[in-house]
Amino acid sequence: MEKIFVKPLKRHGSLWIYQNEILSDITHINAGSLVKVFEEKTNKIIGTGYINPQSVIAVRLLSFGDEQINKNFLRERIQKSHKYREDFLGLKESYRLIFSESDFLPGLIVDKYGKCLVIQILTAGMERLKDLIVEILDKLLVPEVIILRNDAQPRVKEGLKVEKMVIKGCVDNLIMTKEDDLKFYFDPLHGQKTGFFLDQRENRLYLKSLISSGEGLDLFCYVGAWSIHLAKRGANITGIDSSEKAIEIAKQNAMLNNVQDKCRFIKADVFDYLRWEAKKGKKYDFIVVDPPAFVKSRQEKKDAIESYVNLNRMALKLLRKNGILATSSCSQHISETDFLEIIKKTFKASKKTGILLYKGTQSKDHPILLTMPETSYLKCLMLRVF
């Protein structure tokens, strides 16, 4: 394992070391190779990790000590993550088992949906460890199906092939997962991310404690999780999404939970739909706004803020007095403070005011590492509008 030397690091506890912080020549080291990192001035070890000389984040640490990164190391890390979810959080059926840096396994995402595991490997270092990881997960959880969703764009920057495949079992039909007292079909092979958005679980459950009647909208509804929770409580709701496949699955989920008379799902562009409803003078009792990430880099932040303001302004226009707005951002480059300011700006532009009922983040199986603000990405606000 090669030794490399770095400048004194300013971000205590971060697992990332950038190119401009490295003093050693690393151009000859193969992407994904394991390295030991030392501070040049003191010769003190910083940690053990893997390197990619072509990446801006050149080293991702797996440990803050001098350790052998082998099967035993990986097994202990994965078992610790598993124990946290099942023993501490009490999650058994479906949850995010491994959340990359937050579980000290940077570049690795694993979601468990009953007997199905969906794995995402995002970096060259984790790609080299893939076979060991799959072997450990298979033995620990004994899943019937294992899917590799290695089709995320970060792999391109790492010089990795973009692909997806079933490496154990078969996926002929949709997979089913459970959330609270509801069941949901989803597509783990072709759907967004790993197929279902587990990170909004706690926010969905909170919103349905506020709403038990009325008429509402679920914008960017995907497979209908928000809609069906609210419909089960007694509300009437219309879900909007531009994906025909997602809308078809949402309709199946409504029937699965016997709320098809309370839900309708429409394939449409959300912005276009909101304009149509405004022209008709339509009003709703509640609106859920859960868009995909509008910003993928800091350079896009200004345009993203404008998109969030426009979207939420259009939603506010359709809300009745005392209506509820549940709005989210999953853009990592939009901080909690940024998002609060966006919503304040939106209310001011709409000449409305409101009370903040709830401020949420990602579910607890997506833990936030305090020394890495990058691991905090989801913001969810629920407001009563006047």
Most confidently modeled of 218-227, 292-301, 330-339? 218-227
Residue 127 in contact with residue 32, Cβ under 8 Å? yes
pLDDT at 301: 86
Q: Is the pLDDT of residue 7 over 90?
A: yes
Q: How far apart are CA 80 and CA 150, in angstroms?
A: 24
Q: How confident is the model at residue 216 (pLDDT cuts 50, 70, 90)?
A: very high
The pairing of beta strand 34-39 with beta strand 2-6: parallel
Residues 99-125, mean pLDDT to the nearest whole number: 98
Q: What are residue 117's DSSP bridge partners?
A: 112, 146
pLDDT digits (tens, 9 = 90+) for 261-287: 999 999 999 999 999 999 999 999 999
HSE value, Cβ hemisphere, 13 Å, CA-based, for 225: 24
pLDDT at 329: 97
Residue 187 in contact with residue 195, Cβ under 8 Å? yes
pLDDT digits (tens, 9 = 90+) for 138-168: 999 999 999 999 999 999 999 999 999 999 9
pLDDT digits (tens, 9 = 90+) for 289-309: 999 988 767 777 888 899 999
pLDDT digits (tens, 9 = 90+) for 182-215: 999 999 999 999 999 999 999 999 999 999 999 9
Whole-number average pLDDT of the chain: 96
Q: What are residue 120's DSSP bridge partners?
A: 109
pLDDT at 12: 87
Could you give the maximum distance between any two Cα atoms of the chain, in Å? 70
H or E, element range at 42: none
Q: How far apart are CA 79 and CA 140, in angstroms?
A: 8
pLDDT at 185: 98
Q: How far apart are CA 28 and CA 260, in angstroms?
A: 60
Percent of the chain with pLDDT over 90: 94
Predicted model pTM: 0.94
Q: How confident is the model at residue 324 (pLDDT cuts 50, 70, 90)?
A: very high
